Structure formats: C-alpha cells, structure tokens
Amino acid sequence: MESALIVVDIQNDFCPGGVLAVPDGDAIIPAANSLLAAYPISVLTQDWHPLNHCSFASAKSLPPFSLDTSAEPPNVLWPDHCVAGTKGADFHPALQSWKARFIIRKGTRKELDSYSAFFENDGVTPTGLSGLLSSLGIQRVLVCGLATDYCVKATALDARRVGFKVVIVEDAIKGIDANPGDIDKAKTQMRDAGCVFAKTHELLAKI
Ligand code: VGL
Ligand code: ZN
C-alpha cells in the first residue's frame, strides 16, 4: 500500500524557546528525521499566518489562551505565532526539511484559521493536500509532529474523513495540554475515528 508521511508544524514557534512552545516539542525531531529518510513521499506542514491573523489574541484585544466566543464555533486565541516569513515560522533547524518532497502552508488567510493539513477550520476550504496525495496513489498517511491536541488531531481526523488509512506515530507527536487531559482526549478521538497507533521503530522495521 502506498504511504505518505505528514510531518505537522515542527516550527521554531512550537518548540522550546518559541512563543507557543509545545513542552519538549523538539524531542520528536530525531524520529521525524528518520521517518523522512525512509518515506519518499513526505509532506511538511507549516503554520503560516499573516499579521493580525484571526487566531491571534492581540488582534482581538483578548488574553492569549482565552476563547473567542464571537467566532462560530468559538475558537482558542493564541499568542502571535508563525507569522509568515519570520524566524518563528521557519522549520526547527534540526528538522531535516530538505528531505521532504512537499511543503503545505496553512492558516494563510487572515479571517480563517487552519489546524488541519487538509482543510481550513471552516471544514470545507481545502489546502489541496487531499488531491495531491490521491493523485500520487496514496492510500495511507503516517502522521507525526505538533501539537497532538490541535494540528495533529485535526489532520488525522480530516485524513480519515477524506478516506485515507491513518497511522499516528505515537513517539513522534507532542501536545500542549492547555487543559490537562486534552492530549488523552485527542488520542481517544483519533482512535475512535479509526486511526491506528504505531511506533517509529515498528514502522521502519516494516519498510
Ligand atoms: C497549532 C495552535 C495554533 C498547532 C497551530 O500546530 O497545533 N496550535 N496554531
Ligand atoms: Zn496557528
């Protein structure tokens, strides 16, 4: 079965030292690099926002991590992060990004956020990734990266929705857990949607 690797948002702003650091976010980079070396069809995603993006607390004059209840559905407001063209939006320097075949940028429209690599948060605006993978004959995607409880989850659920088999690389994801339990909840949701969990060494042993 043709498989593609999706590496979600391993960017400076989501790693220790970044403005929206996922605890130990950089710890998954060695696993991501070994997967990138093994899978010839691979996609890196990059959160890539304009200034004053609708997901920025500063744009709404509200505190970071609060809920924007004026949005439908209400969405979490973040510190300004991954502004297009800035160092924070760059891939982490340890990520061997040159090994990847494709880069998909998301959240590029000011009025629309995007967690998933497949659709913007309205659930209908495609990024183009689904068509790209389908046209290459891909039936299964392996998902790793940041953050388990946001972009990894959204990517995995959308991949199921459009009909891909999904493997979550469980030792190559890290989450935020802003509310303790969020990571566990995300894993349950992914399992319930039919995602399978596997470890990097198990996947590499099968190639
Ligand atoms: C993400 C919050 C805001 C992520 C992106 O990559 O999980 N989280 N934007
Ligand atoms: Zn973002």
Q: What is the pLDDT of residue 204?
A: 97
Which pLDDT belongs to residue 72? 75
> Which ligand minimizes its atom distance to the CA of 49?
2
Is 151 a pocket residue for ligand 1 (Cβ < 6 Å)? yes
Ligand with an atom nearest the CA of residue 54? 2
Domain 3-53+91-205: which topology? Rossmann fold (3.40.50)
pTM for the full model?
0.97
Low-confidence ranges of the chain (pLDDT < 70): none
Three-state helix/strand/coil letters over the chain: CCEEEEEECCEHHHCCCCCCCCCCHHHHHHHHHHHHHHCCCEEEEEECECCCCCCEHHHHCCCCCCEECCCCCCEECECCCCECCCHHHCECCCCCHHHCCEEEEECCCCCCCCCCCCECCCCCCECCHHHHHHHCCCCEEEEEEECHHHHHHHHHHHHHHCCCEEEEEEEEEECCCCCCCHHHHHHHHHHHCCCEEECHHHHHHCC
Give the Å distance between the CA of 48 and the centre of ligand 1.
10
pLDDT in tens, 127-143: 999 999 999 999 999 99
What integer pLDDT is reported at residue 129 of this predicted model? Answer: 98
Predicted confidence at residue 20, as pLDDT, reads 97
pLDDT reported for residue 105: 96
